[in-house]
Every structure is written in structure tokens, then in C-alpha cells.
């Protein structure tokens, strides 16, 4: 319940993105994609234009350098959610 509530807050997007990009553990990176997906549309809409641009860049960069297919699929899902919005 705590994670569910936290993922609704704007600050969660930066924390989860940090985990996605910097965590060594595969499970942490995958969980970050799952948690980001929960409220991505609402969270993304609350970001400034500059923050949105930075977030998109981080996702695309991580997609390219990600070596594990499971995490890469999670990032691809996040990108596909953002495509109609952008």
C-alpha cells in the first residue's frame, strides 16, 4: 500500500527513474519499470516541459544500453505509453 500511494506522487518519477538507470540489480530495474507504468500518464503530465524532455531522453538512453530483455521490454512499454501523449 505504501508503494501504491508513493507512485501517485510527482517525486516518485525521479526516484524510480534513478533506480532504473543506476541500479545494478536486475530486479530493482524491472520493479522500477512496473511502478512507473502504474501512473505514468498522470505523473508525466505533472512534469514541466524540461522535465518531460529529460525523462524521455533517460528512457530512450536506458532502452539502448539495457542488456536484459525483461527490463528492456518494460522500458519499451513505458515509451509506448508516452507516444500518444508526446
- The residue length of the chain stands at 86
> For 65-82, what is each residue's pLDDT tens digit?
999 999 999 999 999 999
> For 28-46, what is each residue's pLDDT tens digit?
999 999 999 988 888 898 8
CA 6 to chain CA centroid, nearest Å:
14
- Cα–Cα distance, 53 to 85 (Å, whole number): 12
Q: Which residues contact 28 (CB under 8 A, 6 or more apart)?
A: 19
Whether the per-residue pLDDT at 19 is higher than 90: the answer is yes
What is the share, in percent, of the chain residues with pLDDT greater than 70?
100
- Cα–Cα distance, 21 to 23 (Å, whole number): 6
For the chain, what is the radius of gyration of the CA atoms? 12
Amino acid at each position: 500500500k505504501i508503494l501504491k500511494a508513493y507512485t501517485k506522487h510527482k517525486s516518485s518519477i525521479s526516484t524510480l527513474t534513478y533506480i532504473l538507470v543506476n541500479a545494478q540489480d536486475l530486479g530493482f530495474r524491472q520493479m522500477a519499470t512496473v511502478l512507473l507504468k502504474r501512473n505514468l500518464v498522470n505523473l508525466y503530465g505533472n512534469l514541466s516541459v524540461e522535465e518531460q524532455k529529460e525523462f524521455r531522453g533517460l528512457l530512450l538512453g536506458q532502452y539502448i544500453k539495457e542488456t536484459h530483455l525483461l527490463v528492456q521490454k518494460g522500458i519499451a512499454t513505458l515509451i509506448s505509453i508516452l507516444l500518444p501523449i508526446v
